[in-house]
């Protein structure tokens, strides 16, 4: 399992918009999507992939990291697993 954390996602972005954006740049569809509001200044989205490993996501990361989308600059991190 691997996680893709997108930070500074524009407010009001729907899951459908996000999936279309990811598909456009060759990022596979995630198994789970979790919106993380925080304090509202830089909303984030956590994408969970069960069948894609972190190394594969790391190779895909440069395709959208630091990209401007909907007037926001995205930041992308690859995480290996979430520990609770």
pLDDT in tens, 29-84: 999 999 998 777 789 999 999 999 899 999 999 999 999 999 999 999 998 765 54
Say which residues have a Cβ less than 8 Å from residue 35's Cβ, sequence separation at least 6: 9, 43, 44, 45
pLDDT at 84: 47
pLDDT at 82: 58
Q: pTM surpassing 0.85?
A: yes
**Of residues 8 and 83, more confidently modeled:** 8
pLDDT at 28: 94
Main-chain phi, psi angles of 81, to 5 degrees:
-155, 155
Is beta strand 72-73 parallel, antiparallel or unpaired with respect to 75-79?
A: unpaired
């Amino acid at each position: 399992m691997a996680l893709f954390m997108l930070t500074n996602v524009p407010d009001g972005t729907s899951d459908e918009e996000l999936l279309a954006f990811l598909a456009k740049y060759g990022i596979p569809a995630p198994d789970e999507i979790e919106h993380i509001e925080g304090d509202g200044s830089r909303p984030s989205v956590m994408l969970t992939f069960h069948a894609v490993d972190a190394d594969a996501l790391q190779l895909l990361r440069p395709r959208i990291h630091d990209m401007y989308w909907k007037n926001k600059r995205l930041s992308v991190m690859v995480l290996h697993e979430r520990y609770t």
